[in-house]
Amino acid sequence: QTVDGEGIDASFFNEKGFIEADRNYQIPNKEGFFVCGDVVKPHLLTTAIGQAVIAAESIGDYLGGKSQQARPKVDVHYFDLMEKLKEWDLSPSDYVKGSQVAKGTDTADFAVHNYEDRSFASIIPHTELFLGHFDNEERHKRNHVLVDVDNVLGNFEERLVCYSEEDAQKEAERCLSCGLCFECDNCVMYCPQDAVFKVKRDKSTLGRYVDTDYYKCIGCHICADVCPTGYIQMGLGE
């Protein structure tokens, strides 16, 4: 597989016909030029998509006049509720200690636990999941097409057989959404104090479905016990 470099200055390419890039996918010694995909190194489509995400962030920083961030050896992307709320213009108001009474938090608009960044809990080990909520379902494995040694060269057919639409839906339904709320309503139904309630539609967004009135909460831990994904963690606060 070769790169079509038509229209691109030859100085961008190395001796192997590819374009080198740093961890931010900016071309070394070519400020303001970013690159990703097979022109960097031929690989999977998903690899190119991941590179494009990083390149887009780097381009945004560059255009915004920010310095390029030092990236980790392995990029891991987490869901950030605060960023999602900001995107939907639902950012909470700042809480100034002592200036507001932290009672009746169901009507307040400052930061409570449902506003916190729960990205650390994006994956919960199976040992911490409440498996009583889940039936055991076997994985829907994809079939393989075996190619003998005489027919490998020049064979570009897919080796993994795609799911049918029905099988794809069945496999997707096995997802436990580990660490994230998938709106099962258990915490709302089982709270003996009616402290946990659904967020109003004009205030809800992806990742923020329920809220807690801490004036009513007695810290009984029932909501955490019945949460199937380990999303709810109990604490005493400040």
What integer pLDDT is reported at residue 238 of this predicted model? 44
The span from the first CA to the last CA of the chain, in angstroms, equals: 59
Please list the ranges in the chain whose pLDDT falls under 70.
1-2, 74-79, 98-107, 111-126, 128, 133, 175-179, 206-207, 235-238
What integer pLDDT is reported at residue 178 of this predicted model? 64
pTM: 0.48
DSSP-assigned letters across all residues of the chain: -----TTS-GGG--TTS-----TT-BPTT-TT-B--STTT----HHHHHHHHHHHHHHHHHHHTTPPPPPPPSS------HHHHHHHTT-PPBPPPTTTS----TTS--B--GGGS--GGGSS--GGGS-GGG-------PPPB----GGG-TT--S-SBPPPPHHHHHHHHTT---TTS-----HHHHH-TTS-EEEPPTTT-BTTB-EEE-TTT-----HHHHH-TTS--------
pLDDT digits (tens, 9 = 90+) for 119-157: 555 566 667 677 776 777 788 888 888 888 888 888 888
